[in-house]
Amino acid sequence: MQDGRYGPAMFAVTAARFSPDAPICALELGEHADPVPAEGWAKVAVKAASLNHHDVWTLRGVGISASQLPMVLGCDAAGVDEEGNEVVVHGVIADPAAGSGDETLDPGRSLLSERYDGTFAELVTVPRRNLIPKPASLSFEAAACLPTAYLTAYRMIFGKSGLEPGSTILVQGAGGGVATALILLGRAAGYRVWVTSRSEEKRARALELGADQAFPAGARLPERVDAVMETVGEATWSHSVKSLRPGGRIVVCGATSGPMPPAELTRIFFLQLSVVGSTMGTRDQLARLVSFCGQTGLRPLIDRTLPLAQAPAGFEAMINGELFGKVVFTV
C-alpha cells in the first residue's frame, strides 16, 4: 500500500480480515487498486508467484495489524519490469546500511505483504535495487520459488553452517519448502544430506531428490552430524541437539511446531555446540542463488502450479500438509 496513491484496478489475492482457525475464510479475490511506485521504486508485471507459510500466518493475524488490511499477500515473484526486463523480486524491504551492509539485520526490515502489498497480484512495486535479472534458462515459475524458501536454505547452508562440501547435514522435517530446498542445494554443492520425516512417503521422496539417507522423526542416527538445519522447532529440537557431533552447529530458520523447546543447555555447553539463527537472505545472496541455479542446472521442486484465481486451492493444500515442494501461482 504505497502512500495511498493508486491508479486503476488490478486482480489480486488479499487478506481481507483475520481468521486464526479457518484462514482461507480470510482470503478475498478480486479487484484491488493498481500500485503507483514511490520514488526509487519499480513496478513489475507479475508472471508467477509462490506460496509460503508466511501467507497463511498473515491470514491468521500473525505479524500484521488490522489497520493494514486489506493487504495483498505474497512474498515471492518473478515478472517483467517497466523496461521489459525479466526479473526476480527480492522480497526483503530494508536498508543495507542500517544492517551494517546486510539488509536482513536492519531492525526496521519487513517482507512484502507485511507493510507493503505483496506479489499475489497482476502488479507489484518494490525498491529498484530489489530487482535481479532473471536468466532466460530459468522459467518464471522456477524463479518465483527462489526468493524465500530457496534463499533461506541457501543462506543456512552456505552462509551460516560454516561447513565445507563433504560435510554431513541433517535436515529435519522433509517435505516443507525450505527442507526441500536444503536437500536440493546441499546435494548440488556436494554435502552429505540426511533427512527426517514422520511420513514414509516423504522420506522416499527425499531420497528420490538426492538425500543420502532418510530416517523416521526422532530416530537414532548411524553417527553424529556436523550440522542440523532446523525449521520445525519444539517437535524436533531435542533430537537435533542429540544428533550433533561435539562442536557441531544447529542453524535455525523457523519453528513451525512451536518456539519453546527445552534449551538443553548442559549438552550445549559441555559439547560446545552452537545455535545460529538465520532469516531470509540478502539481495546479493539471491543474485548468487540465481547464478547457482544457472551454473548447476538445479531447479526448484514445484508440487503444483495454479492460476492465481485458484489461490484458495493452493492455500488449502498447504494448510492440510499435502505438499512436497512449492505451490506456484501464475498470473
Same domain, 171 and 259: yes
Same domain, 164 and 248: yes
Same domain, 24 and 106: yes
Answer with the one of 277, 292, 316 that is the final residue of a domain. Answer: 277
Residue 319: give the domain boundaries. 6-145+300-330
Same domain, 25 and 80: yes
Same domain, 114 and 180: no
For residue 3, pLDDT over 50 is answered with no
d(CA 13, CA 16): 9
* Coil/strand/helix, residue 150: helix
The reply to whether omega before 70 is within 30° of 0 (cis) is: yes
In a domain, 292, yes or no: no
In a domain, 243, yes or no: yes
- Return the number of other C-beta atoms located less than 10 Å from residue 115's C-beta: 14
Q: Residue 293: phi, psi to the nearest 5? A: -60, -40
How far CA 108 is from CA of 41, 94, 120, 149, in Å, comes to: 18, 7, 23, 21
The residue-averaged pLDDT of 252-266 equals: 89
Rg (CA), the chain: 19
Same domain, 196 and 305: no
- Give the three cell numbers for residue 294: 544457472
- Give the three cell numbers for residue 322: 499435502
Same domain, 27 and 132: yes
Same domain, 212 and 90: no
* Coil/strand/helix, residue 275: strand
- Tell me which amino acid residue 318 is: M
Same domain, 137 and 170: no
Q: How confident is the model at residue 178 (pLDDT cuts 50, 70, 90)?
A: very high
In a domain, 45, yes or no: yes
Same domain, 38 and 78: yes
The residue-averaged pLDDT of 78-94 equals: 98
Contacts for 104 with CB less than 8 Å, ≥ 6 apart: 92, 94, 279, 280, 281, 282
Q: How confident is the model at residue 274 (pLDDT cuts 50, 70, 90)?
A: very high
* Cα separation of the two ends of the chain: 20
**What are the beta bridge partners of residue 326?**
302
CB 239 within 8 A of CB 227: no
d(CA 176, CA 108): 28
d(CA 223, CA 225): 6
Please write the tens of the pLDDT for every residue from 123-141: 999 999 999 999 999 999 9
Count: domains in the chain: 2
Please write the tens of the pLDDT for every residue from 56-65: 999 999 999 9
Q: How confident is the model at residue 6 (pLDDT cuts 50, 70, 90)?
A: very low
Please write the tens of the pLDDT for every residue from 140-155: 999 999 999 999 999 9
